[in-house]
Amino acid sequence: MADRVPLKIIYLIARLVSALAILVFRRDLAKEAELLVLRHENAVLRRHAGRIRYEPADRVWFTALRTRRLFSCGLCAW
């Protein structure tokens, strides 16, 4: 098990680097298409889920994510 740890670390680093490269070099058209698909999925889920009632802990989590997005470095544009 211990001999697999360096291999796992190398795999995770390679995966992170490739994901960042894909984000940087992806064209605007692909980004727009992905946004359209995600918006459609969101709309379908809203129709099926009905009204969502958030707990106070959920609201704290959303606020933390929103402030992180405001102060992010721009590499992870979410």
Instruction: Render pLDDT for 49-70 as a digit per residue (tens, 0 to 9).
Output: 777 788 888 888 888 877 765 4
Which of 6-10, 15-19, 24-28, 67-71 has the weakest average pLDDT? 67-71
Query: pTM of this prediction?
Result: 0.37
At residue 1, the 3 state secondary structure works out as coil
How much of the chain exceeds pLDDT 90, in percent? 13
Chain centroid to CA 25: how far?
Answer: 17
Q: What is the rounded CA–CA span in Å between residue 56 and residue 71?
A: 23
